[in-house]
Amino acid sequence: MDAPYGLPVPPPARVVVGLSGGVDSAVTALLLQRAGYEVIGLFMKNWEDDDTFGDCPAAADIADVQAIAARLDIPVQVVNFAAEYREQVFAHFLAEYRRGRTPNPDVLCNRQIKFGVFREHALRLGAQAIATGHYAALRRTGGVVELLCPADEDKDQTYFLHALTQTQLAPAGFALADLTKRQVRALAAQAGLMVAHKKDSTGICFIGERPFREFLSRYLVAEPGDIVDAQGRVIGRHVGLPHYTLGQRQGLGIGGGHGASGAAWYVAGKDTARNALIVVQGHDHPLLLSSGLESEPATWIAGTAPARRFACTAKTRYRQRAEACEVTVTDDGRCQVRFSRPQRAVTPGQSVVFYRDGLCLGGAVIDTTAPLTEATSRQLTSA
């Protein structure tokens, strides 16, 4: 019997499902149970709640997980990975902000926690496979596990899974590969799962509903400084460079009257040496655009790069349309990427993820960006 959902083993194998308390992981457990698998639920508690940082709703999520398990009549276990999360994800998160960069902790959480310590714990429970509620697909060909985009393009989460290895994907499966979010909610409602219409979680889970600036200020010393325009003229004050990201418009405290055009201001860069925030006017100002980037050493789903030089498409942020580019892999594993057209607000600390015909090849953390040439800048300015 063939194994469904990209899983490595057919039913009735034991599958440990990462239950979050949301509808996606609940339906994952439902579908695997219907397929004949022995399903065990596991809730990962990755953050310790206390009065210092407030409202991560772990207790409510655990209650939802227990209700899901009761409805499906499956065993469930709550495991505390908070120490591992702080050491392997949160410490890096803070270190990147101290460097003036904008990290994406979800990528590291998937690699280190969900497909790291969770996978290892599940295997100790006798799991022959693991599954999560991610919108992604797996294909096993010639002993290699391939990561593919799912049917629901709007929910595609391969961007956050690009740093996984063959070892991490070997026991995995994704039951939602061929479903849309609407279909997932309909299946949950039909099965009587009380989370069928539960609101999707957004942002970073350990922050909860707390404003991000308030949360970050508890861990990083904010040093106020000048906001300057492209010519170096001081036009305002910022509350600390870690609180801003490239392309940001809201929360700058600058009116359009500071510039002749009256257009909105956007963050274009950070001068950490001077503790200055650089801003420009206009959504598509040339200083917000990049012709390419250089990354840190990449991780490839197949284990190696497709070639030393190859063409593909790439995303530099989640939900972005993949853009055509050419990639050169250096001797130390870094990627030099040149886009076919300028890209806006490419941000060091975020990830560049590579695709080809619906296949996620891998990706890397963005290190530096390549500014537009003077000729291209003039063309854009005069257009």
pLDDT of amino acid 315: 98
Catalytic residue among 149, 205, 312, 360: 205
| Residue 377, amino acid | S
In this structure, CATH architecture of domain 221-283: Roll (2.30)
**Range(s) for CATH 2.40.30.10 in the chain?**
288-382
Omega before residue 342 within 30° of 0, cis: no
Which CATH number does 14-207 carry?
3.40.50.620
- pLDDT of 27 over the 60 cut: yes
Q: Do 109 and 89 contact (CB within 8 A), yes or no?
A: yes
Short-list 331, 327, 339, 324, CA closest to 364 = 327
**Range(s) for CATH 3.40.50.620 in the chain?**
14-207
Share of the chain above pLDDT 70, in %: 90
pLDDT digits (tens, 9 = 90+) for 194-219: 999 999 876 666 665 567 778 888 88
Angle at 95 between CA 89 and CA 96, to 5 degrees: 90
For residues 121 and 224, give the distance between their C-alpha atoms in angstroms, rounded to a whole number: 44
pLDDT digits (tens, 9 = 90+) for 87-130: 999 999 999 998 889 999 999 999 999 999 999 999 999 999 99
Edge-to-edge strand list for the sheet holding 129-131? 76-80, 38-45, 14-18, 129-131, 172-173
For residues 255 and 263, give the distance between their C-alpha atoms in angstroms, rounded to a whole number: 9
pLDDT of amino acid 51: 41
pLDDT digits (tens, 9 = 90+) for 100-112: 899 999 999 999 9
To the query of whether residue 360 is one of the catalytic residues in this protein, the response is no
For residues 32 and 26, give the distance between their C-alpha atoms in angstroms, rounded to a whole number: 10
**Range(s) for CATH 2.30.30.280 in the chain?**
221-283
Edge-to-edge strand list for the sheet holding 276-281? 234-238, 225-228, 276-281, 265-271
Q: Do 351 and 107 contact (CB within 8 A), yes or no?
A: yes
Confidence of residue 53 (pLDDT cuts 50, 70, 90): very low
CATH superfamily entry for domain 288-382: Translation factors (2.40.30.10)
pLDDT of amino acid 214: 80
